[in-house]
Amino acid sequence: MSHSPASLGTFPTPVEPAPRLAAALGLGPEDLWIKRDDLTGLGGGGNKVRKLEWTAGAALAEGADTLVTTGAPQSNHARLTAAAAARLGLAAVLVLRGSPGASRSGNLALDGLFGARLAWAGDVDRAGLDAAADEVCARLRAGGARPALIPFGGSSVPGARGYVRCGEELDAQVPGLRTAVVALGSGGTMAGLVAALGTEAVLGVDVGALADPAAAVAQFAAPLTTREVTAEGLRVRRDQVGAGYATLTGPAAEALRLAARTEGLVLDPVYTGRALAGLHAAVRDGDVRPGEKTVFLHTGGLPGLFGHQDAVAFAEGGAVAFEA
């Protein structure tokens, strides 16, 4: 890659201690740190900002005038692609799975605020979504525009490069780090961390977005490091997918409540809730131990909480009437 990344976020993001959450998980009070990548700045923040610095930066360098990307209706990546486009003076078209539903809240509300155009692809699989995006690009080109396709989830080798930098920040911020725990969706975030920190230092918690998430991580990480990276050598948990990507699992709901009530920290139902549930399970089965330095990567996703009916109902259910 010859271009430089676009400057979209505020870095380095802070690392904060989480002693009360640590104790609730069964760790020592000084064992757990939160890397606040929910505070990356642009468009409500989140992990996708680091990737977009590289992918949208490349699009800009190549003369694109429109960013096109794909995702689920509540895609944080699509929302942040729309925000990046606005920041860079580009147009955005988001090709989303499904059809316009009754609820337009959460990320969809922000997509509208950022001025993105939406193209609903219907009930399609990943190949169908990619085909719909290709068609949108062809139509844009026919109309004289210069579209650039940002990959699903922002995950590609260039996108993962943004997370190499996050790994380098962690190296400096948390000396002696044993495990960084991160949600694993399309793979680029874990890939960059693995390239920077090594396979042993990163625990990915699969959210169920891909059939073979470890293969995706290895594919994106290998070109970014001289370390040996194989899919089999990665630390990946697949026990938090539950009934599927968009569902609120019991452990994720419990994790949302735990983070909120111990640290005032808001997680999202699809990614960071599952990641914390995965960390809890890892402490229970001894993969993460007291006395070791552990970092939980908060990758954002707060708007997705408000776009998820079950999560909103669960959160509201926690409010108890005050009785004197």
Ligand X SMILES: Cc1ncc(COP(=O)(O)O)c(C=O)c1O
- Chain positions 189 to 228 lying near ligand X, rule: CB under 6 A, are 189-190
Binder to ligand X among 44, 57, 158, 187 (CB under 6 A)?
A: 187
State the minimum distance, in angstroms, from the CB of residue 172 to ligand X: 22
Q: Are 236 and 204 in contact (CB under 8 A)?
A: yes
State the minimum distance, in angstroms, from the CB of residue 274 to ligand X: 9
160 closest CA partner among 5, 323, 315: 5
* Torsion sign across C-alpha atoms 186, 190, 196, 198: negative
How far is it, in rounded angstroms, from Cα 89 to Cα 268?
A: 29
Q: How many residues at the interface with ligand X, by CB under 6 A?
A: 20
294 closest CA partner among 38, 40, 30, 46: 30
Residue 183 in the binding site for ligand X (CB under 6 A):
yes
How far is it, in rounded angstroms, from Cα 135 to Cα 251?
A: 39
Binder to ligand X among 158, 251, 301, 307 (CB under 6 A)?
A: 301
- Across 78-107, b (16+ Cβ under 10 Å) vs e yields bbbbbbbbbbbebbbbbbbbeeeeeeeebb
Both tokens of 118, joined, read: 């939406």
Q: Are 248 and 269 in contact (CB under 8 A)?
A: yes
Q: Which whole-number Å values give the CA distances from 39 to 34, 71, 158, 288, in the listed order?
A: 11, 22, 22, 25
- Chain positions 251 to 270 lying near ligand X, rule: CB under 6 A, are 268
Residue 161 in the binding site for ligand X (CB under 6 A):
no
Pick the piece of the chain touching ligand X (CB under 6 A) from 9-17, 143-151, 180-188, 257-265.
180-188
How far is it, in rounded angstroms, from Cα 3 to Cα 318?
A: 48
Q: Toward ligand X, which CB reaches closer, 69 or 155?
A: 155
Residue 62 CB neighbour total at 10 angstroms = 10
Q: Toward ligand X, which CB reaches closer, 263 or 268?
A: 268
Residue 299 in the binding site for ligand X (CB under 6 A):
yes
Binder to ligand X among 45, 158, 167, 300 (CB under 6 A)?
A: 300
* Total number of residues shown for the chain: 324
Q: Toward ligand X, which CB reaches closer, 190 or 282?
A: 190
State the minimum distance, in angstroms, from the CB of residue 155 to ligand X: 5
How far is it, in rounded angstroms, from Cα 107 to Cα 90?
A: 19
- Residues taking part in catalysis: 75
Binder to ligand X among 40, 155, 156, 219 (CB under 6 A)?
A: 155
Pick the piece of the chain touching ligand X (CB under 6 A) from 1-9, 164-172, 184-192, 278-286.
184-192
Both tokens of 27, joined, read: 């760790």
Q: Give the contact letters, 20-59, x = binds to ligand X (CB under 6 A), - = no.
A: --------------------------xx------------
Binder to ligand X among 114, 271, 296, 306 (CB under 6 A)?
A: 271
- Which spans of this chain sit near ligand X (rule: CB under 6 A)? 46-47, 76-77, 153, 155, 183-190, 268, 271-272, 299-301
